[in-house]
Copies of this chain bind each other. A is one copy, B any other.
Amino acid sequence: MNFFSSKFKLGILGGGQLGKMLLYNTRKFDIHTKVLDASNEAPCKIACDEFQLGDLMDFDAVYNFGKQVDVLTFEIENVNTNALEALEKEGVKVYPSSKTLRTIQNKATQKLFYKDHNIPTADFTRFAYTSEIKEAIHNGGLQLPFVWKSAQFGYDGNGVKVVRTIEDLEGLPNVECIAEDMIPFKNELAVIVARNVDGDIKTYPVVEMEFHPEANQVEYVICPARIDDAVAKKAREVALNVSKAFNHVGLLAVEMFQTKNDEILVNEVAPRPHNSGHQTIEASYTSQFEQHLRAILNLPLGQTDSKVGGIMVNLVGAEGHTGNVVYENIAKIMKLEGVTPHIYGKKQTRPFRKMGHVTIVNKDINEARRVAEQVKKTIKVMSK
Q: Give the interface of A toward B (CB within 8 A).
A: 2, 4-6, 20, 23-24, 27-30, 46-49, 285, 290, 294, 299-300, 302-303, 307-308, 326-327, 330-331, 334-335, 337-338, 340-345, 347, 356, 361
Known contacts A299-B331, A345-B30; decide if A285 and B361 are in contact (CB<8 Å).
yes
Interfacial chain B residues near A307, Cβ < 8 Å = 307-308, 361
Residue of B nearest to A283 (CB): B307
CB contact under 8 A between A28 and B327, given known A46-B49, A337-B303: no
Closest B residue to A43 by beta carbon equals: B27
CA distance A300 to B338 in the complex (A): 12
**Bound Cα distance from A276 to B137, whole angstroms:** 69
CB nearest to A51 among chain B residues:
B46
B29 touching A341, Cβ below 8 Å: yes
Name the B residues within 8 Å of A361 (CB-CB): 285, 307
In the complex, A48 Cα to B345 Cα: how many Å? 14
From known contacts A290-B340, A307-B308, infer whether A47 and B27 are also in contact, taking CB-CB under 8 Å: yes
A250 to B336, CA, bound (A): 20
How far is A303 from B5 in the complex, measured between Cα atoms in Å? Answer: 37
Knowing A24-B24, A285-B338, say if A29 contacts B308 (CB, 8 Å): no
* Given A308-B307, A331-B300, A343-B28 contact (CB < 8 Å): yes
Q: What residues on B are CB-neighbors of A285 within 8 Å?
A: 338, 361
Chain B CB within 10 Å — which of A345, A347, A356 has the most? A345
Within 8 Å CB of A27, what residues of B?
20, 24, 46-47, 345
A335 contact set on B, CB distance < 8 A:
300
Residue of B nearest to A29 (CB): B343
**B343-A30 in contact (CB<8A):** yes
The answer to whether residues A334 and B5 also contact, given A30-B344, A46-B49, A49-B46 and a CB cut-off of 8 A, is no
Q: Are A326 and B2 in contact (CB under 8 A)?
A: yes
Give chain B residues whose Cβ lies under 8 Å from the Cβ of A331. 299-300
CA A303 – CA B302 in complex, angstroms? 25
Name 16 extra pairs, CB < 8 A, besides A28-B343, A29-B341, A30-B356: A2-B326, A4-B326, A5-B326, A24-B27, A27-B46, A27-B345, A28-B342, A29-B343, A46-B48, A47-B47, A290-B340, A299-B331, A300-B331, A300-B335, A303-B337, A303-B338
Asked if residues A299 and B334 are in contact (CB atoms below 8 Å), the reply is yes
* Shortest CB distance A305–B (Å): 10
A361-B303 Cα distance, complex, nearest whole Å? 11
Choose among A2, A307, A342 the residue with the greatest number of B CB atoms under 10 Å from its CB: A307
Given A20-B27, A303-B337, A337-B303, A330 contacting B46 (CB threshold 8 A): no
Bound-state Cα–Cα, A238 to B299, Å: 44
12 contacts between A and B (CB under 8 A): A4-B327, A6-B347, A27-B46, A28-B340, A29-B343, A30-B345, A46-B48, A47-B47, A299-B334, A300-B331, A300-B335, A303-B337
Give min CB distance, A114 to chain B, whole Å: 33
Inter-chain CA distance A2–B6, complex, in Å, is: 39
> Which one, B46, B290, B340, B343, contacts A46 given CB within 8 A?
B46
| Contact present for A334 and B302 (CB under 8 Å) | yes
- Cα separation A300 to B337 with both chains bound (whole Å): 11
B-side contacts of A341, CB under 8 Å: 28-29
A300 and B46: CB pair below 8 A? no
A338 to B300, CA, bound (A): 12
Min distance, Cβ A311 to any Cβ of chain B, angstroms: 14
A298 to chain B minimum Cβ distance, whole angstroms, is 8
A29 to B340, CA, bound (A): 9
Our pick among B2, B30, B300 for the contact of A334 (Cβ within 8 Å) is B300
